[in-house]
Amino acid sequence: MTRDLGKAIESPRRYSFANLPRSITWSEVEQMLQKVDRRNAVGKRDYAILLLLVTYGLRALEVGALTLDDIDWKRDRLHIRGRKAGHSTAYPLSPPVGEALLDYLKHGRPEKSERVVFFEAYAPYNPLSRVAVSMRAKLYLHKAGIQVSRPGSHTLRHSCVQRLVDSGFSLKTIGDFIGHRTPDATKIYAKVNIQALREVALGDGEEVL
């Protein structure tokens, strides 16, 4: 046709929360972690980053903004400040995460006066950006051969949440844990809570709802 009718075509209706969170299984998480070469500085840094993402469901921005002052070694606490919800969160510092951070700080982090934890691997050693953090996650997902739409740091954040859902934690608890601003942001994970959905389908579902 000589005339473009594209503007006359209505776009399909898009519904809120129509998509599923792009998480991967925990066995795939372990498969991805095994692809990190922890014998060099880059691997030590990346391993600590991946553990932070998948253990606490942190955003790439929060990992990039992490400082030495946010790690309380005496009390085994990890502080995440300036979250999207406008508050800070203190997590117990899990032994695997603590060991990975210590290994990087002692044997991988460049000697810089800045208090930021993660730096680029090559001079001039700038602090690692939010985009760079997400790209590290994307790299190892590809290395492990894991197929997922839009791979990156949010894939590991979703995987952390999926594990919490599978463990039976309430959506309110999960939302508080990962720093959601409102309960609405956590609603999408109700779609992957298979056990609760099964109870709703098989009974009156009042206890679940």
Residues with a catalytic annotation lie at 59, 84, 154, 157, 180, 189
> If you count them, how many residues does the chain have?
209
Backbone dihedral region of 179: left (phi > 0), alpha (psi from -120 to 50 degrees) or beta?
A: left
For 50-115, the three-class secondary structure string (H helix, E strand, C coil) is HHHHHHHCCCHHHHHCCEHHHEECCCCEEEECCCCCCCCEEEECCHHHHHHHHHHHHHCCCCCCCC
DSSP 158-207: HHHHHHHHHTT--HHHHHHHHT-SSGGGGGGGGGG-HHHHHHHHHS--TT
Give me the amino acid identity at 177. F
Exposure letters 79-118 (e unless 16+ CB within 10 A, then b):
ebeebeeeeebebebeeebbebbebbeeebbeeeeeeebb
